[in-house]
Amino acid sequence: MDLISDAVAGTRAGRAVGSRHRHTGSWSSRFPAVNGSGLHIVRRGAPYFVHEHGQPFRTRAGDVVFVPHGGRHGFSDAPLPFGDLSSERPAPVTGPFDTEFVSCCYHLDHGQVSAWFDGLPEVLTVNTDDAAAGPMLGHLAGLLEEHAADDGEGSDIALAAIVDLLLVHLLRAWREHLEPAPDPQILAALRAVQEDPSRPWTVQDLCDRAGLSRTTFTRRFAALTHETPRRYLLRRRLEHAGHLLRHTDLPLAAIARQLGYSSEFSFSAAFRRTFQIAPGQYRLQQARTAEPPVGHHDGQESRSRVRDDRSGAPAAGPQAPPRGPGRSARPHTEAAATP
């Protein structure tokens, strides 16, 4: 498995929610911070995107805007500073509209996004007409629009699958614009872990797979993945533990042994330290919460998974502390300048 697969797989620790937004005239809307990642697709018009740590920039139809760290942001018909965006629900648009965008986000339930996401800018944008995007990104954007307003049977799994595919093609296009070819020796080590996640891997095992000294391997591994080999192994091991807790009835002691922990106690301590919840509680929570609260607007939670929101109210999730000052707002365009 490669870096993009690893990063996208990390978002599966949570749940996808989606909504459609339509506006006309003068308007603005604000999306609160979430513990997860946000995604928007501009279908009509040219609204301004505003991130709390960046300058407003104008989007265009076909833009896929990805907010990997879940920071506060919003849209408006004019280049407003973030603090001027309205947090009130706009009046519903019942007639013609000139702006439409579809929003989706993954809310993570005590999960962790891959550290590779930490190396991404606060916002990255790819247009479905860009040559690097390929034809699939546009097709998937259309599917997301269709399923964002669908609450029929199977819609939960369909929306999550579409978002997974959309992120894969979005990140591929972005990397083709900006990043050099990945390090094949480090990728060989990563692939070995992905193909045998239950094995109690050590850093030296990965060095041997890559055919590199420990010092060289650690330096090149961190340059590619933005985390140390030790941290990566711990994260992957505990993410696999989360998968086993969600999808099997294995006792905690059996999971601990399978992942290479010396005891159930040491496994539980590591899990709690990383995810701030005991593994047994996590398993019970996942079994109970088939439809958790996923919406938030003006302090009120919405329990619907998907909304066709023509009033412009954001589909958002549990508030998370905003991140510190971020990186560039639009990495492959003109410094996020307002046209």
Q: Could you tell me the CATH number of the domain that includes residue 42?
A: 2.60.120.280
pLDDT (tens digit, 9 = 90+) per residue, 191-217?
888 778 778 889 999 999 999 999 999
Is 173 a member of any domain?
Answer: yes
Total domains in the fold of the chain: 2
Average pLDDT across the chain, whole number: 74
Q: What residues contact residue 161 under an 8 Å CB cut-off, 6+ apart?
A: none
7 and 131 in a single domain? The answer is yes
On the 0-12 / 13-18 / 19+ scale of CB atoms within 10 A, 57 is: buried
Query: What DSSP string describes 68-114?
Result: TT---EEEESS---GGGS--SPPPP--S--SEEEEEEEEEESS----
Count of C-beta atoms within a 10 Å radius of residue 298: 9
304 and 165 in a single domain? The answer is yes
Closest-CA residue to 13 (of 315, 319, 286, 296): 286
Q: What residues contact residue 102 under an 8 Å CB cut-off, 6+ apart?
A: 18, 19, 20, 21, 40, 41, 43, 141, 144, 145, 148
The answer to whether residues 31 and 87 touch, using CB atoms and an 8 Å cutoff, is: no
Structure tokens at 47: 């609204």
103 and 203 in a single domain? The answer is no
Closest-CA residue to 77 (of 68, 69, 86): 86
173 and 193 in a single domain? The answer is no
On the 0-12 / 13-18 / 19+ scale of CB atoms within 10 A, 120 is: buried
In the chain, pLDDT over 90 holds for what percent of residues?
A: 24
Compute the average pLDDT of residues 172-189.
72
Alpha helical stretches, state H, the chain = 3-11, 115-118, 134-148, 155-178, 184-195, 203-210, 214-225, 229-247, 252-258, 264-275, 279-288
Beta bridge partners of 34: 319
Is 316 a member of any domain?
Answer: no
170 and 217 in a single domain? The answer is no
Q: Rounded distance, CA 305 to CA 187, Å? A: 37
pLDDT (tens digit, 9 = 90+) per residue, 297-330?
333 333 233 334 443 333 333 333 333 323 333 3
Q: How confident is the model at residue 332 (pLDDT cuts 50, 70, 90)?
A: very low
Structure tokens at 336: 């996020």
What phi and psi values does residue 36 have, to the nearest 5 degrees? 165, -150
Beta bridge partners of 19: 103, 307
20 and 155 in a single domain? The answer is yes
Q: What pLDDT, on the 0 to 100 scale, is given for residue 226?
A: 67
Is 248 a member of any domain?
Answer: yes
Q: How confident is the model at residue 159 (pLDDT cuts 50, 70, 90)?
A: confident
Q: What pLDDT, on the 0 to 100 scale, is given for residue 224?
A: 74
145 and 14 in a single domain? The answer is yes
Beta bridge partners of 74: 30, 50
Q: Is the dihedral of CA 192, 194, 196, 201 positive or negative?
A: positive
Is 127 a member of any domain?
Answer: yes
44 and 140 in a single domain? The answer is yes
Is 68 a member of any domain?
Answer: yes
Residue 221 reports pLDDT greater than 70: yes
Q: What pLDDT, on the 0 to 100 scale, is given for residue 6?
A: 58
Report the chain's terminal Cα–Cα distance, integer Å. Answer: 40
75 and 218 in a single domain? The answer is no
Helix (H, G, I), strand (E, B), or coil: what is residue 67? strand
Is 336 a member of any domain?
Answer: no
**Edge-first strand listing for the sheet containing 57-58:** 28-31, 73-76, 48-51, 57-58
Which residue range(s) make up the domain with 118?
A: 3-179+293-309
73 and 204 in a single domain? The answer is no
Is 329 a member of any domain?
Answer: no
112 and 166 in a single domain? The answer is yes
13 and 78 in a single domain? The answer is yes
Q: How confident is the model at residue 188 (pLDDT cuts 50, 70, 90)?
A: confident
Is 337 a member of any domain?
Answer: no
User: Which of the residue ranges 17-31, 45-59, 232-246 would you say has the lowest mean pLDDT?
Assistant: 232-246
What phi and psi values does residue 19 have, to the nearest 5 degrees? -160, 160
Of residues 28 and 191, the one with the higher pLDDT is 28
CATH number of domain containing 200: 1.10.10.60
